[in-house]
Amino acid sequence: MAYFLGIDTGGTFTDAVLLDDQRRVVASAKRLTTRLDLSVGIGQSLAALPQELMPEVAMVSLSSTLTTNSAVEGKGSPVCVLLIGYDAQQLKASGLPELLGADGIVMLAGGHDAGGKEHSALDEEAARQAILHYRERVSAFAISASFSVRNPSHELRVQELVTSLAGKPVSCGHELASSLGAPRRAMTAALNARMIAQVSQLIDSVQDLLARLDICAPLMIVKGDGSLVNAQSAMRRPISTVLSGPAASVNGACALSGYRDLIVADMGGTTTDIAVVRNGRPQLSFDGARVGEWRPMVEAIRLYSVGLGGDSELSFDSGLGIAIGPRRVVPLSLLASQYPAVIGVLERQLRSSPSSSHNRFALRLQRDDALLRHLSSDEQAAWERLEAGPVAIEQAAMDERWLARALARLERKGLVIYSGFTPTDAAHVLGLSRHWSSEAANLAARIWARRMRRQYGFGSWPEGDAEAPARDVFQRVVQIICAKLVEAGLHDAGQEGDVSRLARVLSELILTPRAREGGGSVFSMHFADELPVVAVGGPAASYYPLAAQALGVHLCLPEHGEVANAVGTVYGEVVQRVHISVLQPVFGVFRVFGRRGPVDHDSLEAALAQAREEAAAEAEQMAREAGAESPRIDFELEEKRVRNDIDGELFFEARVTAVASGMPALQLTAKA
């Protein structure tokens, strides 16, 4: 019997499942993710599975929320972005200054026009100097040129320079996105470059562990659209793995529940992701999936995501009262279970005046060699201090101000993570969760509630009470879940644009109905009876029963739902899409914008034929390189035509898409 091994590495937990050849769960395990050394947490999960079955594994598949979480939290490895032919307005529209800061963005002369003709010559000398300047400071380079999807020659030339002068990974905009929109394409290339080191570290850790376990099966990675690619393809284009975890969760929720029409709600440590599935297929977003504040040009499952998870930071908002996320912190209940001395510090903080640094400890999150090489002396000393364990920020602020400031800078760089009061802690206070230290959770709740009352004038909880604020946090989480489910329903009903405010108003009306005197509720709302909510993820069982009851929706909490991401990794094909545009720039000339630059034809039929041939060849090659055994090719054609009174209907533009899909080539590398 052949077995399938699924692994999901999330921000808090790493899950592993072993499935038989009928895709039935044989065994599962959940262990803490160890960001400083991912192989530790993954190895602990794999060690909890039946070791005698490991050599019989025919395929290993991996998903992760690490790239998604880094985008949501605005973290990532240092990169240099080379922008060719961009102006100041395009740079501002890209969001790169907010994503990366002022350093690391270089503007170069060059670029093409909409017809694919060179707009101005590429400044190769400036590119050379920039690459030499940044090659020791960054982990990767990103390149984006104006209209590179119409002619990629300038991007390809600078890519050659990066490879020869720096030897670092490089992301080109035209390889990641086929649509016009230079600012978003630049941001997509930058996000991709920032993720390369993180994804490579994850894949290397898994491959080393598989070798130790005598597993010779191919390693596949889940993309954001739910399809699979092999490890080599994922390392070249890690941006495609954004929303990998949620996509795997959708696959897993469908498989575990048996439903073909459903709403999938996946609640993890950092985010809550909701997707609508009809006839067994989730909707896809070809215009880019929103990830936190960013919308990279990646084809992914259409998700409605919010920075709400078990580890989301709880804070104060003047308009909302209790604000949750999007920043992820370490729950005090978890921190104290690993470092019991934390409880004594919390007890002392409870006896002192409220402070914004209470409940706040700093500890190492992950290693990034490119960042560590360029730390200041204070930052290096702070990093070394954390070798002994977490540092209380309050104590550092009072005794060693330099240390507190250095830790704050390390946190902004993504090397350090803070602790804080979280929904996970509230669940421990209420007895809904018992994984870690309930004593620390109670102390953290009392400290947080006192600060909310005295510093912000919010909350009327009894002094010293932990349960009342925890119940309010619980209700706030339910409110956000309901609002996001309503928002997903509005989008599914065809409502366009930002409907989050409307969803919030409607969910508040549902949760707190106002009855007229002598009558019932003014508003009545319910979800379709045939579309159940399938809730998965570790915290789902705590929060979704009340949310489903409030919305009047049928809820399914499937068996093994807490490891649905890992289950979903083994479902799916290898799918690669290649898009090629055909335009009629002047009457009678049909221009194909292929990878080698524009080519003109005197007939539409000839242009479309070239586009199909070139797209099919590239898609098939990409699918085979991504691990497909015998990919089949399907075509999609989108045309834009205009009509006028004199000439009638005229062809304006077409997009030819070749879709190559096939099952992973299991037998090629599976152990005999």
Question: How do residues 317-333 score in pLDDT, each as one tens digit?
Answer: 877 789 888 888 999 99
In the predicted structure, residue 52 carries a pLDDT above the cut 60: yes
Residue 513 has pLDDT above 60, yes or no: no
637 pLDDT higher than 80 = yes
> Is residue 17's pLDDT more than 60?
yes
- Classify residue 60: in a domain, yes or no: yes
Q: Is 164 helix (H, G, I), strand (E, B) or coil?
A: helix
| List of residues 6+ apart from 466 with CB closer than 8 A | 429, 441, 442, 443, 445, 446, 449
Higher pLDDT, 493 or 231: 231
Specify if 342 maps to a domain: no
Mean pLDDT, residues 222-250 taken together: 85
> pTM for this structure?
0.81
Can you give the pLDDT at residue 279?
A: 86
What DSSP assignment string belongs to 487-526? Answer: HHHHHHTT--S--HHHHHHHHHHHHSPPBPTTS-BS----
Asked if residue 323 is part of any domain, the answer here is no
Average pLDDT over residues 132-158: 90
Residue 347 belongs to a domain: no
Q: How many alpha carbons fall within 13 Å on the CB side of residue 423?
A: 32
Q: State the pLDDT at residue 671.
A: 43
Count of domains observed in the chain: 2
At 525 the pLDDT is 65
* 23: alpha, beta or left? (left if phi > 0; alpha if psi -120 to 50): left
Residue 672 confidence (pLDDT): 40
- Residue 587 within a domain: yes
pLDDT value at residue 257 = 94
Statement: residue 33 has pLDDT above 70: yes
Report the SS3 class of residue 61: strand
pLDDT tops 80 at residue 69:
no
Considering the domain boundaries, does residue 579 fall inside one? yes
Tell me the CATH number at 618. Answer: 3.30.110
**What residues form DSSP beta bridges with 221?**
62, 229
Those residues whose C-beta lies under 8 Å from the C-beta of residue 191, and which sit 6 or more positions away, are: 71, 76, 99, 239, 242, 294, 296
- Least reliable range by pLDDT among 64-68, 351-355, 386-390, 410-414: 64-68
| Domain end residue (candidates: 242, 274, 289) | 242
The answer, yes or no, to whether residue 519 has pLDDT greater than 60, is no
> What is the DSSP secondary structure assignment for residue 99, as one 8-state letter?
H
Asked if residue 307 belongs to a domain, the reply is no
Length of the chain in terms of residues written: 672
Q: Check whether 526 has a pLDDT greater than 70.
A: no
Q: 140-149, 197-206, 341-350, 494-503: which has the highest mean pLDDT? A: 341-350
Last residue of a domain, which of 242, 269, 285?
242
- Reported as a pLDDT band with limits 50, 70 and 90, residue 73 is low
Cβ burial of 318 (10 Å; 0-12, 13-18, 19+) is: exposed
Q: Which residue has the higher pLDDT, 482 or 507?
A: 482
DSSP summary character for residue 290: -
- Structure-model confidence comparison of residues 533 and 512, the more confident one: 533
pLDDT, residue 289, reads 58
Q: What is the pLDDT of residue 235?
A: 82
Tell me which of 242, 270, 303 is where a domain ends.
242
- Domain membership of residue 643 as a residue range: 574-668
Round the average pLDDT of the chain to a whole number and report it: 87
- State pLDDT tens for residues 414-437: 899 999 999 999 999 999 988 899
Residue 491 has pLDDT above 80, yes or no: no
SS3 of 517-573: the string is CCCCECCCCCCCCCCCEEEECCCHHHHHHHHHHHHCCCEECCCCHHHHHHHHCCCCC
Q: Check pLDDT > 70 for residue 670.
A: no
Section 288-306 average pLDDT: 69
Q: Please tell me which residue, 479 or 99, carries the higher pLDDT value.
A: 479
What's residue 524's pLDDT?
A: 65
Q: What is the mean pLDDT of residues 80-105?
A: 86
Examine residue 137 and state whether it is found in any structural domain, yes or no: yes
Cα three-residue angle 661-663-667, rounded to 5 degrees: 145
Q: How far apart are CA 44 and CA 26, in angstroms?
A: 17
In whole angstroms, how far apart are CA 492 and each of 233, 298, 340, 499?
Answer: 32, 20, 48, 12
- Is the confidence at residue 496, as pLDDT, over 80? no
What integer pLDDT is reported at residue 668 of this predicted model? 42
